[in-house]
């Protein structure tokens, strides 16, 4: 799997204190760990290190955030929060 294919993916945590919360993958450490952020409790400046096996992957990719991360530009926490709020509303319908 290409490393950059995971960046920007929306995931749900399936274990830990953050169980059932939505996050976006903002970095890749190795084949077992990634960095995730939700822009609220886990800011982009201090993302959470999480095992891949503790995440549920969705088919949703935050393309704008992914492009900013891959081009090494600054991503604001408000963009992440706004994207995840829109996705939560879509999933509820």
Q: 17-50 pLDDT, tens per residue? A: 989 899 999 999 999 999 999 988 999 999 999 9
pLDDT band at 71 (very low <50, low <70, confident <90, very high): very high
Q: Report how many domains make up the chain.
A: 1
Task: Give the chain's mean pLDDT.
Answer: 88
Provide mean pLDDT across the span 55-84.
91
Tokens of 85: 């709020």
CA quadruple 12, 57, 24, 54: dihedral positive or negative? Answer: positive
Q: What is the pLDDT of residue 51?
A: 94
pTM of the model: 0.89
- Are 36 and 50 within 8 A, CB to CB? yes
Q: For position 25, which CATH number holds?
A: 2.30.30.30
Q: How far is the first Cα of the chain from the last one, in angstroms, to the nearest whole number?
A: 32
User: 36: domain range?
Assistant: 3-92
CA dist., res. 16 & res. 8, Å (int): 21
SS3 at position 20: coil
Give the per-residue pLDDT at 7: 93
Task: List the beta bridge partners of residue 21.
Answer: none
């Amino acid at each position: 799997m290409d490393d950059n294919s995971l960046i920007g993916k929306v995931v749900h945590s399936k274990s830990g204190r953050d169980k059932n919360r939505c996050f976006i993958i903002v970095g890749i450490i190795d084949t077992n760990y990634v960095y995730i952020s939700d822009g609220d409790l886990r800011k982009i400046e201090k993302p959470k290190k999480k095992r891949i096996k503790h995440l549920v992957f969705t088919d949703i990719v935050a393309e704008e955030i992914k492009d900013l991360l891959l081009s090494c530009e600054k991503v604001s926490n408000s963009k992440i929060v706004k994207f995840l709020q829109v996705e939560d509303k879509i999933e509820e319908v």
